Amino acid sequence: MASQASQLGPAGVLAYDISRSVNLARWGYQAGYLTGSETWKLVMASARLAQSRFDSWDAYGRSFLAGRDFWGGASAASRASFEREVHGLLTRPDGAWRVQPWREDLSATPVRAADTRA
């Protein structure tokens, strides 16, 4: 982890925490603890935080991988699998991170008002 710190910048491993927060919101929705609107508010807050702390999908991906290592998912096979996924998100023609611009204007992104369980 210390060897990665100089490459991560001031945000450190924040991308992993942001990704986990989105997963927790999603799981909260699936379990019925959150409404759709509440979930989208949390997801969009996470997206805005990510945009404010990282300058690219690449920087976000490096931070995510380092955070996962720090969390304890650093077996060689697991690390290689996640590196492949991050690489694919960045480089495949249909990779989500390649298709979605990093600097998308999130202030104009509406939070979904419709709630399927309301």
Residue 107: pLDDT band with limits 50, 70, 90? confident
CA distances from 71 to 14, 60, 89 (A): 12, 16, 21
Give pLDDT, residue 105.
87
Say if residue 5's pLDDT is above 60: no
Give the C-alpha separation, 90 to 105, whole Å: 20
Q: With contact defined as beta carbons under 8 Å apart, do 49 and 18 qualify?
A: yes
Among the listed ranges 10-19, 43-52, 53-62, 69-78, which one has the minimum average pLDDT value?
69-78
**Any idea how long the chain is?**
118
Q: With contact defined as beta carbons under 8 Å apart, do 109 and 44 qualify?
A: yes
> What is the arithmetic mean of pLDDT over 46-58?
95
- Kindly state the percentage of the chain with pLDDT values over 70: 82
Give pLDDT, residue 74.
63
